[in-house]
Copies of this chain bind each other. A is one copy, B any other.
């Protein structure tokens, strides 16, 4: 999580930009939408608002601003997520039981911390350790901005009234994009983050890997492709599935991506942040679990890329600006641009790699060492970025990770194969 050299001004601007961005995400919501927690993995929106604020209060203000007065004695208990080192917490699965503090009170908490942060960041230079934590806090809040979108889609998307969150418009007409195999030859490659810009600890430790020759698809798997899998009985053919995946889809009666449903005429539609819509055949398929991504790839006679393969191919085929989810800009780049937001990418891409530590992995001391490392088991790495990912999180070394059965994130499929 080392950051490069930056000036005080930059820090303040960064902080303000991120904090304002979170507020913008809240605008379309009703107060009721901030409160509920449909399942453990989803947090109430208002909890995100409090938690990201608590992060700055706990890791920046309290240790560094002698005059800072804690806003409320119980808020640390309510807004700590999983930092055991930072003290007791309200249990995660009960976050949706708390009606107080109200949304209004949490915004007041945000304002209070914002003012203290702004005073602090305007007061003069901070040392590089503090700078690192401020930048980390901003990146942390941006990660929660993306979770915010997953969660609000989950909250609204199961409501039989299918409320619209906002109007999004894809800015490019897409159709008939050409699929090609992008090959990488055998050899030793370097993966992992190098340099002085911000990055997370889990991508640190640039190291060498040997890769046998392989290729990845230039396009993500589309809804049209995925419908072929469904129509071909993919969800009924056990030979395509990991054993735990087969159990998962059968126990949960899963026969299509999350949010999809079939109307009377057999036509597929799905809930989107715009409300309920028809499936667009040319869009990348989204809201599939790792199990489904893996089964689809097997059905195609392919496989998913490892995260190393993904990163090396991305580095080889991207143009100068790194952009993760999309390998060749000119012909097949279809990002969704969101009015007023700097989200970028299409969907995250499940890789074949379980989330594990890189050689030489060395998490920070103390509570912030709990940020990434303690989750390195039973989860799969995703690479790229989604239409909910802040642009500055899009880089070829970024390692996202989720449990293989989860489907509420914005995740899809890129194929790979040995050649």
Contact = CB atoms under 8 A, between A and B. Distances in A.
A339 interface: no
Interface in A360-377: 360, 369-370, 374-377
B36 A101 contact: no
A359 B99 contact: no
Contacts of A33: 99-100
A419 to B, nearest CB: 11
Interface string A201-222: 0000001111010100000000
B30 A32 contact: no
A375 B242 contact: yes
What bracket does the count of chain A residues touching chain B fall in? Answer: 35 or more
Contacts of A155: 97, 99
Interface string A91-118: 0001011111111000000000000000
A353 B306 CA distance: 14
Contacts of A360: 212, 418
A416 B31 CA distance: 50
B36 A96 contact: yes
Main secondary structure on A side of the interface with B: mixed
Interface stretch (A82-90, A124-132, A140-148): A82-90
A290 B376 CA distance: 12
Query: Which residue, of A74, A208, A210, A303, has the highest number of chain B Cβ atoms within 10 A?
Result: A210
A207 to B, nearest CB: 6
Given A210-B208, A360-B418, A97 B238 contact: no
Please provide the 8 A-B residue pairs with the shortest distance between their CB atoms, ordered closest to farther.
A354-B354, A210-B210, A32-B99, A84-B238, A243-B374, A31-B31, A33-B99, A38-B97
Interface of A: 30-36, 38, 46, 74, 77-78, 82, 84-85, 90, 94, 96-103, 155-156, 158-161, 163, 188, 207-210, 212, 214, 238-239, 241-246, 290-291, 294, 303, 352-354, 356-357, 359-360, 369-370, 374-378, 380, 404, 418
16 contacts: A32-B32, A32-B103, A35-B35, A36-B96, A84-B239, A85-B239, A90-B160, A97-B158, A97-B159, A99-B159, A207-B212, A239-B369, A239-B370, A244-B378, A246-B374, A378-B378
